Amino acid sequence: MMPSANLPTFTLKQVASHSSKKSCYVTLGSKVYDLTEFLPDHPGGDDLILEYAGKDISQIIVDADSHVHSEAAYEILEDCLVGFLSPEDAKKVANGSAAAKNVASAVTNPGPAADAPNYRTGMSSAEELSIPTDYTADFKTHKFIDLNKPMLMQVWRGNFTKEFYLQQVHRPRHYRGGESAPLFGNFLEPLSKTPWWVIPIIWIPCVCFGLNKASEGLSNETVATCFVGGLAIWTFIEYCMHRFLFHLDEWLPDNNNFLTLHFLLHGIHHYLPMDRYRLVMPPTLFIALAIPFWKLAHTIFYMNWYIGTAVYCGGIFGYICYDLTHYFLHHKNLPSYYRELKKYHLQHHFADYENGFGVTSRFWDRIFGTELPPLPQKTA
């Protein structure tokens, strides 16, 4: 593609100077893209983009080991186009990389989509989870929630049928620029947002305190055994809660109050899955769920309070791992095992929310027959 008269040209040196979170440019073929605003929304995490800030991404964008990008990824790139490389530098890039030529051709002349959109979610790839929603057009089309306004009262007063509500809440939207859509629209709003780092800061000291109390009545070996046992029990609780509490869609009463409760508990996450401040459980909600489990642990292990405490601490540590894993699966570049888990979890969001309930592993999905099948591979 020839440089447009409406867009400037850049040298490679100029592009290289935009290599930070405040200004992040990349090149792909002869095109220059400003990904600064997209950084918080990248499904692979902003750290992966920043690794290539100021550089050419022709190799990484087609690297199957990292991630096979869909047509939606190239659509997002085109929205970020800010200019072109100077003819001299464009030749240098093209001559130095065969991938640059192939990708440039694919972006200029995109072929037909490899996968049809899922009829329930309206999406065909993880990248589409990060395409900003046109709030006004979406509300005009679906008559569900206007993201320009606080969401909670719209759900509560919406008089939606259960069928319509579930159809809409499982069609993901995306609020622009890494921000959070308003939920309450009042002084309660901060209570609905939780940065990921709050979880270890609050709960790891509690786990350490509990283990210290347990060690007053148990040997270190027994504490460790109970802790690991509690961690194993958590994996089953994680699966059951995700499947039978967060996704109790089939058994959800057709009532505004229950629909609103469902939206607060998990529906909002499926509606806005890339909202980085609503990916971990707010401490107030966690306390409400944790108290019954404290009583249950000490009821089951009634013969020894210290054993119940150590097992409970193992379960709480499992929850911490779960919440942090969940956040990182949505927003960070991860080692190979977690990259596969990331694809698996995002598939739960954009393709099949009725399966794939494991977040930290697929183990219980395999046991209970809810494992997601591999996505079909794209063919040339």
Binding residues for Zn(2+): 242, 247, 266, 269-270, 326, 330, 345, 348-349
Round to whole Å and give the CA distance between 332 and 48.
8
Q: DSSP for 250-303?
A: GG--SSHHHHHHHIIIIIHHHHSTT-TTSSS--HHHHHHHHHHHHHHHHHHTTT
Distances (CA, A) of 110 to 74, 84, 106, 141: 9, 19, 5, 27
Round to whole Å and give the CA distance between 109 and 252.
46
- State the number of CA atoms in the 13 A half-sphere of 16 facing the CB: 4
Closest CA to 210 of 324, 312, 302: 312
Secondary element (H or E) of residue 154: helix 152-156
**For residues 97 and 56, is the Cβ–Cβ distance under 8 A?**
yes
Round to whole Å and give the CA distance between 4 and 216.
73
Question: Which residue type, as a one-letter code, is found at position 356?
Answer: G
Closest CA to 54 of 92, 94, 3, 11: 11
- The pair of structure tokens assigned to 20 is 């930070």
- The pair of structure tokens assigned to 185 is 């629209």
Determine how β-strand 31-34 pairs with β-strand 25-28.
Answer: antiparallel
Q: Where is the binding site for heme, in residues?
A: 42, 69
Q: Where is the binding site, in residues?
A: 42, 69, 242, 247, 266, 269-270, 326, 330, 345, 348-349
